[in-house]
């Protein structure tokens, strides 16, 4: 890779041991992807839950902190994805002391490196949305696809060490979605209906993600006149990234880089598939394996204030038979408390959790500790992931999920 003077000094150790470690890692990544050089970034977002880090990952973070040469801090605003617990509710989740201890050690290390513990996968709704053309180094797949597609920013899926390295050096290898040529459409899809609830938007994202099937495909979607909300696009993109490893999509007339089909090169592509309501109904039915429900979870992505408001309205006057968990960000939780949404959800027997994500919080161990197996959610992303953790996940609307929490059955 071509290095400028500052990058050469980093590699030589002239800007500290931590920066040297970070840029060595980034050069290895850049050479793997044939990056010509680095591009400066304005923000980094680290996906580093302790279930994935394990003891070895946390010890690696702690060794970085040991440098203590005054040059070990991140150089650009660097934030975190959801953590592995909500400490105030860990007992109710059946989490063990060793999980919490590992979490505390990871947090201590990140803080010593200057990382801001935002603990959110919806930073584009809560912290600082990246803007069109802004180069960033983001980790969580839902964060990346939303920032690339809806905000028009530029990021690849950065693994945990790569995102932290970007924070420490203020740059990332320039390849893939940082380059114009990789942002052109490669897959043309038509949709002949408008999804209703968030579960349907997620299911549509899942269908298109499966159709795309790999990281390098960029779907361009023709849907006629449609004006989806931020929450709808959040579930749509998160599911597409989960089902298809997709990092960027365009919706003609909606997303900033696709005011017309031709702007992203879509007119030269044949229509790969016309997707109708029957396609998302088929995806939803493929998860409808049982009626009985052990737990209802709203998570992945974390809930916005208005999702919590809707949930609070649905909870009024109910008493839940099975646990209902609603997961939000630390930025939204105080407002949910202030407006009484938390109190209304918990009065029905639900639990509002903050700063974590269900599937990044030792979901397998929670299932064993709590006896949870059959899980209902309105998140297509969560449903797609949890099968791998031993759950029988089921996809339904928020209303149907709340009904299931009350009756114990998903209708």
pLDDT in tens, 345-374: 999 999 999 999 999 999 999 999 999 999
Tell me what pLDDT residue 166 has: 98
Pick the CATH number of 5-180 from 1.10.490, 3.40.50, 3.30.420, 3.30.499: 3.30.499
At what angle are helices 50-65 and 97-112 packed, to 10 degrees?
A: 40
Dihedral of the alpha carbons of 126, 128, 133, 135, in degrees to the nearest 10: -110
Tell me what pLDDT residue 118 has: 98
Cα atoms in the 13 Å half-sphere on the side-chain side of 274: 3
pLDDT in tens, 267-284: 999 999 999 999 999 999
Read out DSSP for 79-118? EE--BS--GGGTTTTT--HHHHHHHHHHHHHHHHTT-B--
pLDDT at residue 68 above 90? no
Q: CATH says 288-407 is which class?
A: alpha beta
Burial class of residue 125 in the structure, from the number of CB atoms within 10 Å of its CB (0-12 exposed, 13-18 middle, 19+ buried) = buried
Tell me what pLDDT residue 67 has: 84
- 268 CB contacts (<8 Å, ≥6 apart)? none
User: 84 vs 67, which has greater pLDDT?
Assistant: 84
Which residue in the block uniquely carries the two structure tokens 């893939």?
A: 176
CA-wise closest residue to 280 among 190, 400, 180, 195: 195
pLDDT in tens, 243-259: 999 999 999 999 999 99
Q: Which two tokens stand for residue 177?
A: 């979605």
Lowest-pLDDT range, 64-78, 128-142, 216-230? 64-78
Residue extent(s) of CATH 3.30.499.10 domains in the chain:
288-407
pLDDT in tens, 187-224: 999 999 999 999 999 999 999 999 999 999 999 999 99
Whether residue 110 contacts residue 60, with contact meaning beta carbons closer than 8 Å, is answered with no
Give the Cβ contact number of residue 201 at 10 Å.
Answer: 26
From CA 290, how far away is CA 293, in angstroms rounded?
8
Label residue 289 by pLDDT band (50, 70, 90).
confident
Tell me, yes or no, if the pTM score tops 0.95. yes
The mean pLDDT value of the chain amounts to 97
């Amino acid at each position: 890779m071509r290095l400028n003077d500052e990058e050469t000094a980093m590699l030589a150790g002239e800007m500290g041991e931590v920066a040297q470690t970070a840029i060595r890692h980034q050069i290895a990544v850049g050479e793997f992807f044939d990056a010509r050089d680095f591009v400066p970034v304005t923000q980094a977002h680290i996906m580093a839950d302790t279930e994935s880090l394990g003891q070895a990952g946390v010890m690696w973070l702690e060794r970085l902190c040991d440098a203590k040469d005054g040059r070990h801090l991140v150089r650009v605003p660097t934030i975190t994805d959801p953590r592995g617990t909500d400490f105030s509710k860990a007992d109710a989740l059946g989490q063990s002391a060793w999980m919490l201890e590992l979490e505390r050690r990871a947090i201590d290390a990140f803080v010593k490196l200057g990382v801001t513990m935002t603990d959110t996968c919806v930073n584009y709704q809560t912290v600082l949305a990246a803007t069109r053309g802004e180069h960033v180094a983001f980790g969580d797949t839902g964060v990346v696809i939303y920032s690339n597609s809806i905000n028009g920013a530029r990021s690849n899926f950065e693994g945990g060490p790569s995102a932290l390295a970007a924070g420490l050096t203020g740059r990332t290898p320039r390849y893939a979605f940082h380059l114009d040529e990789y942002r052109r459409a490669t897959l043309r899809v038509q949709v002949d209906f408008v999804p209703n609830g968030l579960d349907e938007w997620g299911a549509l994202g899942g269908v298109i993600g499966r159709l795309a099937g790999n990281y390098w495909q960029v779907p361009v979607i023709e849907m006629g006149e449609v004006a989806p909300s931020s929450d709808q696009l959040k579930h749509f993109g998160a599911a597409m990234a989960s089902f298809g490893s997709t990092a960027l999509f365009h919706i003609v007339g909606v997303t900033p880089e696709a005011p017309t089909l031709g702007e992203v090169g879509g007119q030269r592509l044949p229509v790969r598939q016309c997707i109708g309501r029957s396609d998302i109904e088929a995806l939803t039915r493929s998860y409808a394996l049982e009626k009985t429900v052990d737990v209802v979870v709203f998570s992945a992505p974390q809930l916005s204030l208005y999702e919590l408001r809707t949930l609070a309205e649905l909870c009024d006057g109910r008493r839940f038979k099975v646990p209902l968990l609603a997961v939000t960000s630390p930025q939204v939780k105080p407002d949910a408390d202030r407006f009484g949404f938390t109190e209304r959800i918990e009065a029905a027997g639900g639990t509002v959790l903050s700063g974590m994500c269900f599937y990044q919080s030792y979901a397998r161990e929670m299932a064993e500790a709590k006896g949870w197996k059959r899980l209902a959610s309105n998140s297509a992303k969560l449903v797609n992931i949890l099968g791998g953790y031993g759950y029988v996940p089921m996809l339904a609307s928020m209303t149907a999920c709340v009904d299931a929490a009350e009756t114990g059955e998903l209708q």
